[in-house]
Structure 1
Amino acid sequence: MRIIHTKLFRGHIFKIHNGATPKSSESDYWNGDINWITPEDLGHNIGKTIRDSRRKITLEGYNNCGVSIASSGSIALSTRAPIGHLAKVELPSCVNQGCRLLEPQEGCEDYWYYTLHSANSTLVSRGQGTTFMELPRQSLKSIKSSVPPPEEQQTIAAFLDYKTAKIDALIAKKKALLDKLAEKRTALISHAVTKGLDPKVPMRDSGIDWLGDIPAHWEALPLRRLVINVKTGSTPTGVNETHFDDKGMPWFKPGDFDNSLFLDNAEKRLSEEGVNEVRVFPPNTVMHIGIGATIGKVGITTLEASCNQQINSIICNEKLNPLYAVYYLHSIKEFIVKCGKYTTLPIINQDETKELIFTVPPVEEQEMITQSLLHEEEHINTQQNRINAVINKLLEYRSALITNAVTGKIDVRNFRLPEAEELVTHEE
């Protein structure tokens, strides 16, 4: 019978380094050479290791913010917003207060990386907080882990490197198919709202350089001539819990927008008190994000709803089908990103939104275009759902494999890399 000892993370396995942030107003603290890793860095990182952080600090910044540097091979772990992102650092690094660095004091670094990966649900379950969940240092320190002999740790890590690389390659192929479907969707929409459905229709110059030729019987008009109004959303004054009710009116924020055309699910819903504090928009309002990283995303409401001030709400008149407007805005998203004014974030305000040039087929043709695109999207969505189901199964298998290997539920002590792969590794 195999006996595998367990130890606490605290002291025995890891030296735990806290994070902090230098004063943002001190320019001498920033743009240095020291990695300063954040949850955002870990969330965007692909793979087991991380080499660089998006922002770096200077030695002066390091000396004035109370962080400590952990050696290469340490594991950066996000402990809030959200809990559980992780990566091995390739270079000595420090972190902000949303992370901690776990510096292994014994054994195989890669084994500890996989151990932390398998402990994700435990880490999340020990989070505390109301505004956001955070994993306290004491809770992290009290977690126990299996500690097989060092040689077995290395074998487990090698086994998981080999197996997860194969799984990740399969997932990458599936994601490439999703990218192709997304490109197909964008191309279908762009062609339908700028050239129409009839390939033999006579064309004319739109007079707009970036738009090019359009069907001869279409118009090209500024949005202000096609709407009742364009208004930004609003936020309840003082924002408190009494403004919200889980069964109330949807109050949309940029985070509620996904790849769906229809806006039905808002993270926040307004109580009657909250509704009295904001602008309310009717069903079939086109909501278009006008600021920030997701500028240009668009959707249409299915119910009476509200939104915050980052969103421009468009109520179409009789000349513009709201769903056609959503498709058209989707087709010019990249143009909007490029033409948005920049301060710290790209912005397109309601007046600039009104000046966007729209292609305007007859209303009956707009309806035909939207119905054709809905049919095409249904087919694409079916394919995407099948691919995502396969990806989710692969991810579940990957997680289970890691957990079973690091907890000893599968015995991999006799694992060796296949000879062909050993040869490739040696040549590299």
Structure 2
Amino acid sequence: MSLPRYEEYKDSGVAWLGSVPARWNVSRLKEVIRSIESGVSVNATDAPAAEGAIGVLKTSCVYDGTFRFAENKAVVEEDLARVSCPVTEGTLIVSRMNTPALVGAAGLVTQSHPNIYLPDRLWQVSLKNSSPGFVHYWTLSGEYRAQVEVACSGTSSSMQNLGQDQFKNFQIALPAEEEQQIIATFLDRETAKIDALIVEQEKLLVLLAEKRQATISHAVTRGLNPNASMKDSGISWLGDVPTHWDIKRLKFIATVQTGIAKGKDTSGKETITVPYLRVANVQDGHLALDDVATIDIEPEQLERYLLGKGDVLMNEGGDFDKLGRGALWDGQIENCIHQNHVFAVRPHGVSSRWLNQVAGSQYAQFYFMGRSKQSTNLASISSTNIMELPVVMPPADEQEEILQFVEQERAMVDVLMQTADHAIDLLKERRAAVISAAVTGKIDVRNAA
């Protein structure tokens, strides 16, 4: 969409803002703020408040720039009398204390929630003589974020605080209130269109990932010959496998090496510093080695915990999607060891590539979930249960044929997924650009709205 500029501009008097439409005024934010309120710190459960019950907002309720009412927790009974500042329609909820990327994040409240209250880390900003929708879109602009970054302070790089005085002194370009509403209405429509396209691309990514997993798992458990003679595997959740395939427990074709536990006292002892692989480094089918930690160990421990080329790494647990998640270690880092939450499975009767592929299949993931200890959103599996995994074993030449097919399929789907990811990035850039241009007067949307 190509939109015109305003007929006449003037110097805003603010170097980073540049020119603004002639009839717009550059004001301090405090000139349109009626009040800023905040709640108090209260104890709450992990569960959201039931309908009609007293709840307190999570700070995550505005993380993505929209207000999400569902992001709340039930207040414990002994703190019910202490809650303050109920959520009110037409206000902005602002995160005043958070990580650098999230401090200052704001969402627009479109409906009052009298039983849901603010915690002390959120502000509720009530406005006067201005459109809440316009001001909210302004908080999504680069011009707003730049002021947040300059104004914030904190005792650490991981947690920043936005002061009220600094917030009130932010500079904002404002048209007349009626025009603000016109711009907000235009952006409601345009961002909804873009958001719908983003959702479609995200759905495509999910479908592609499911297709890739299903195709790979079928190849790993059924082979590539649709006419092959089949037999009962003897495992109900695995079903039939080709007649000429074997099935062996992992413990008969590999050994498992457990990792080192962090926190051992080494004071007064000779130590060496070595790279240290964690669960975060072991992704689904690949390794993330951009951020590898180090640990001090005694020299004689190096051999005990050292990773070897060809080891298949499997995660002990964490979130459900991390359970048993594996990747192949190819000696990428010299003298690298692993933590106790990452198992190093060392094959001796099967190829590392085939075992790694089996570990990432749907049937292996099903096995891991069935043998794991589970709690809310978390699961873990023992090395003993890992070693009981039934491993399907085609002949070596057929393994290689299947692996080549899997690599080709993965590469093809990965290209499609990269294309979808790129489309999402472009759409998000477009969304941000349209918002920024509209709220700073770089484009005239009055006729378009």
Higher relative contact order structure (alpha carbons within 8 Å, sequence separation ≥ 6): 2
Note closer, same or farther for the CA distance 1:375–1:131 as it changes in structure 2 (3 Å cut): same
1:351-370 to 2 correspondence within 5 Å? 351-370=384-403
CA contact (8 A) 1:252 1:306 kept: no
Match of residue 340 from structure 1: 372
Tell me by how many angstroms 1:19 deviates: 5.5
Distance 2:176 2:55 in 1: 32
Once the two structures are superposed, residues 367-415 of structure 1 have per-residue CA deviations (whole angstroms, 9 ceiling, x without a partner) of 3322221121111111111222122111111101101111111122333
Distance 2:47 2:207 in 1: 45
Once the two structures are superposed, residues 68-100 of structure 1 have per-residue CA deviations (whole angstroms, 9 ceiling, x without a partner) of 333133333444245155433444343445x52
Distance 1:383 1:341 in 2: 36
Tell me by how many angstroms 1:191 deviates: 0.4
SS at match of 2:238: coil
Note closer, same or farther for the CA distance 1:360–1:171 as it changes in structure 2 (3 Å cut): same
Match of residue 419 from structure 1: none
Once the two structures are superposed, residues 284-311 of structure 1 have per-residue CA deviations (whole angstroms, 9 ceiling, x without a partner) of 33222332223323222332434444x3
Note closer, same or farther for the CA distance 1:367–1:388 as it changes in structure 2 (3 Å cut): same
Tell me by how many angstroms 1:331 deviates: 1.9
1:87-236 to 2 correspondence within 5 Å? 87-89=107-109, 90-92=111-113, 93-96=116-119, 99-106=121-128, 107-118=130-141, 119-120=144-145, 122-124=147-149, 126=152, 128-130=154-156, 132-138=158-164, 139-235=166-262
Tell me by how many angstroms 1:229 deviates: 1.4
CA contact (8 A) 2:287 2:327 kept: yes
Tell me by how many angstroms 1:39 deviates: 4.1
Match of residue 426 from structure 1: none
Q: Which AA in structure 2 matches 1:101?
A: W
SS at match of 2:426: helix
Tell me by how many angstroms 1:157 deviates: 0.7
In the alignment, structure 1 residue 4 sits paired with structure 2 residue 24: yes
Match of residue 56 from structure 1: 74
Note closer, same or farther for the CA distance 1:39–1:190 as it changes in structure 2 (3 Å cut): farther
Distance 1:156 1:275 in 2: 65
Tell me by how many angstroms 1:357 deviates: 2.2
Q: Which AA in structure 1 matches 2:368?
A: I
In the alignment, structure 1 residue 325 sits paired with structure 2 residue 355: yes
Q: Which AA in structure 2 matches 1:132?
A: S
Equivalent residue for 2:430, pick from 397, 403, 406: 397
Q: With structure 1 as the length reference, what TM-score do the two structures score?
A: 0.81
Distance 1:95 1:299 in 2: 43
Note closer, same or farther for the CA distance 1:115–1:227 as it changes in structure 2 (3 Å cut): same
Distance 1:403 1:275 in 2: 56
Match of residue 290 from structure 1: 316
Give the aligned CA root-mean-square deviation in angstroms: 3.5
- Seq. identity, %: 24
Distance 2:221 2:196 in 1: 38
Distance 1:12 1:69 in 2: 21
Note closer, same or farther for the CA distance 1:382–1:80 as it changes in structure 2 (3 Å cut): same
Where do 5+ consecutive residues of structure 1 fail to align? 417-428
SS at match of 1:352: helix
1:10-49 to 2 correspondence within 5 Å? 10=30, 12-13=32-33, 15-18=35-38, 21-23=41-43, 33-43=53-63, 48-49=66-67
Match of residue 6 from structure 2: none
Match of residue 75 from structure 1: 92
Distance 2:33 2:168 in 1: 10
CA contact (8 A) 1:34 1:59 kept: no
SS at match of 1:6: strand
Distance 1:175 1:338 in 2: 29
Distance 2:38 2:297 in 1: 39
CA contact (8 A) 2:28 2:170 kept: yes
Q: Which AA in structure 1 matches 2:275?
A: M
Note closer, same or farther for the CA distance 1:41–1:253 as it changes in structure 2 (3 Å cut): farther
